[in-house]
Amino acid sequence: MRIDILTIFPEMFQSPFDASIIKRAREKGLVDIHTYNLRDWATDKHKTTDDTPYGGGGGMIMKPEPIFAAVEAIKDEEEIPIILLTPQGRLFTQEVAEELARHDRLLFICGRYEGVDERIRQHLATDEISIGDYVLSGGELAAMVITDAVVRLLPGALGYERAAAEDSHATGLLEGPHYTRPPEFRGWAIPEVLTSGHHAKVAEWRRRQALKRTLERRPDMLARARLSSQDKRWLREMGYAGPFAEED
């Protein structure tokens, strides 16, 4: 996969993309990430990328010309997703990450909070995404969050680790508690079942813990989760009175 990122702050991307899973995925050739400084497509001597809003009011608005010129220089013939990061976009979820991971290329435009010229969303962007209902200063951190969530879904990106398909949110449930050595720490022992060597009992315990934790913390997720009849019986025993999703 190739990911292109247009930003006025390319230096923000260096450390996050040079560590951990993204670094390894880049080294393995699973993803090729390029950041571009929008100022390189500004045409005036001050390399201006924003201007005051028509009609007055505060804040600066990102100008259309450098963004159109940059996108036209970076993408060639093919139709590729041109994703504007904006608080007005559709909410980013694991499902959106899975959708983006199926593309061969992605191009992110990092807007600033005050806004971008409307002609960019009308005539250039093919998608608009927000990472949550809170205010960021610009789209850069959103582009990093989305890149991380997408890259770890690429086949081979997780190496030894558990398949991404088993993660919280991918399964539609939160995970239950995890433990590692020592078996007793400051008088706190781990649950006995985990050292029993009884794999079926461990699997059942984990599933019940995941259901319990989701019920306690994110009962809204239970209405959408893929659940067996046994899961549903356990949840009813635990006091869940809400709806379940249709099975497929």
- Catalytic, 114? Answer yes
d(CA 93, CA 95): 5
- Interface residue with ligand ABV among 131, 144, 150, 151 (CB under 6 A) is 131
Position 147 contacts ligand ABV (CB under 6 A): no
What does the block give as tokens for 42?
Answer: 């500004």
Which range of residues in 85-93, 153-161, 181-189, 203-211 is near ligand ABV by CB under 6 A? 85-93
Position 136 contacts ligand ABV (CB under 6 A): yes
Q: How many Cα atoms are found within 13 Å in the side-chain-facing hemisphere of 110?
A: 27
- Catalytic, 243? Answer no
Position 139 contacts ligand ABV (CB under 6 A): yes
- Catalytic, 167? Answer yes
Q: Identity (one letter) of the amino acid at 41? A: W
With CA atoms as reference, report the closest residue to 190 among 176, 169, 210.
176
Which range of residues in 126-134, 146-154, 170-178, 200-208 is near ligand ABV by CB under 6 A? 126-134
Position 87 contacts ligand ABV (CB under 6 A): yes
Q: How many Cα atoms are found within 13 Å in the side-chain-facing hemisphere of 216?
A: 9
**Strand duo 82-91 + 188-189: pairing:** unpaired
Task: Give the 3-state secondary structure of residue 33.
Answer: strand
d(CA 234, CA 228): 10
Cβ-based nearer residue to ligand ABV, 135 or 241: 135
d(CA 162, CA 153): 11
Site for ligand ABV in 3-42 (CB under 6 A): none
- Interface residue with ligand ABV among 71, 85, 153, 211 (CB under 6 A) is 85
- Interface residue with ligand ABV among 32, 51, 93, 113 (CB under 6 A) is 113
Cβ-based nearer residue to ligand ABV, 32 or 95: 95
Position 222 contacts ligand ABV (CB under 6 A): no
- In the complex, what is the shortest distance from the CB of residue 96 to ligand ABV, in angstroms, rounded to a whole number? 13
- Interface residue with ligand ABV among 19, 95, 132, 224 (CB under 6 A) is 132
List Cα–Cα distances, 80 to 18, 38, 75, 108, in angstroms: 25, 19, 8, 11
Cβ-based nearer residue to ligand ABV, 114 or 175: 114
* Burial of residue 187, with CB atoms counted within 10 A of its CB: 0-12 exposed, 13-18 middle, 19 or more buried: exposed
- Does residue 224 contact residue 245 with C-beta atoms inside 8 Å? yes
Position 86 contacts ligand ABV (CB under 6 A): yes
Contacts (Cβ under 8 Å, ≥6 apart) of 214: 173, 174, 221, 222, 225
Which residues sit at the interface with ligand ABV, rule CB under 6 A? 85-87, 111, 113, 130-132, 136, 138-139, 142
Catalytic positions are: 87, 114, 152, 167
